Chains A and B, each alone.
Chain A
Amino acid sequence: MAEKQKFTCDPNVWVDEYSDEFFRFTMYRVKNREVAEDLVQETFLSALKSIDKFRRDCPEKSWLYNILRNKIIDHFRKKANQEIKYSSSITDQDEDSFFNQYFNKDGNWAIDDSAESWKISADKIMERDEFMQFLMLCLSLLPEMWAKVFSLKNIDDLSTKEICKELNITPSNLWTIIHRAKLQLRGCLDKKWRNQ
């Protein structure tokens, strides 16, 4: 995305310049025209509200994209609340009881649940629309801070040191969050993937 930095700060220009692209981006993820239209509109409105906080050292389009991504995640989070309630129970769990779901006292798998359905290549799996849908849904079921770790890494490209600083946690906290998040994401995706 090597793009010339543009700062219009004009919501009408945003709508002309970005609404189709944002709409396609959202449609790819939510698969519902009405919802996608609403999320694009809400993105511009949220941007308008927080225009004072906009850091001009980053491109306007990336800033708007971040707002849109958060809107999409929120949409899935709301959707998820109507489904299985993983996240609340898991956030409150202490470390031992979280890991006890997966591992026995010796530290080996409590249940052997290697999934045959994941055997195809990464590219093939990612081509399937359902997989990205499930990923969004499962991501939204993670406690907010855990999901934030992935966005700081993938969107903001922060180093682990910077992530710790941003979230005010120690490296050891960060490793535990990543471990727990990965176990939960994989478990959630596996469940969705098998039941599709």
Chain B
Amino acid sequence: MYKIMLTCKQATFLISIRSFQRLNLVHRIQLKLHFMACKTCHDFNHQSQIIDKSLVDLYQNDNFQSTEKLSKEKVSQIKETVNQHIK
């Protein structure tokens, strides 16, 4: 028989793994009920979503508005260093 009320440790476990795997219906209901009773886990869930979104941004976002460039001197210097390593 399922114990319907989760502990905070169990709730944070489900919150953590949900970005890797979809939770089943029972777990989703258990989490919802837990959030009604526990503000800290409710906040943890919010923070966990921020972290997940930021990780996606960190690993995948290659589009920046910045137009900063390396100086021509630096580019030549890098080429020179790279070429020294080829030889």
Q: Give Cα distance in the complex from A43 to B51, angstroms.
A: 27
Residues on A with C-beta less than 8 A from B40 are 109, 112-114
> 1/0 per position for B46-68, CB-CB distance to A under 8 A?
11111101111111101010101
B82 with A108: CB separation less than 8 A: no
- For residue A86, CB closer than 8 A to chain B, the reply is no
Q: Give Cα distance in the complex from A155 to B19, angstroms.
A: 14
Q: Give Cα distance in the complex from A136 to B59, angstroms.
A: 10
B59 with A175: CB separation less than 8 A: no
Asked, given contacts A44-B78, A107-B10, A112-B40, whether A190 binds B47 with beta carbons under 8 Å apart, the answer is yes
Residue with the greatest number of chain B CB neighbours at <10 A, chosen from A23, A69, A190: A23
Residues on B with C-beta less than 8 A from A136 are 58
B55 to chain A, nearest CB (A): 6
Sorting the interface of chain A by its residue count into under 10, 10 to 19, 20 to 34 or 35 or more gives 35 or more
Q: Give Cα distance in the complex from A23 to B21, angstroms.
A: 35
Residues on A with C-beta less than 8 A from B38 are 108
Residues on A with C-beta less than 8 A from B44 are 114, 186
Residue with the greatest number of chain A CB neighbours at <10 A, chosen from B10, B39, B51: B51
- For residue B17, CB closer than 8 A to chain A, the reply is yes
B6 to chain A, nearest CB (A): 8
B70 with A23: CB separation less than 8 A: yes
B45 to chain A, nearest CB (A): 10
- For residue B81, CB closer than 8 A to chain A, the reply is yes
A–B Cβ pairs within 8 angstroms, 24 of them: A11-B83, A14-B82, A15-B75, A15-B82, A19-B70, A28-B64, A40-B78, A41-B78, A45-B85, A69-B59, A107-B9, A118-B47, A125-B50, A125-B54, A131-B54, A132-B54, A154-B60, A155-B60, A175-B17, A178-B20, A179-B13, A182-B15, A182-B16, A185-B51
The 4 closest A-B pairs by CB, nearest first: A107-B7, A154-B59, A182-B16, A114-B43
Q: Which residues of B does A touch, CB under 8 Å? A: 7-10, 12-13, 15-17, 19-21, 38-44, 46-51, 53-60, 62, 64, 66, 68-70, 74-75, 78-79, 81-83, 85-86
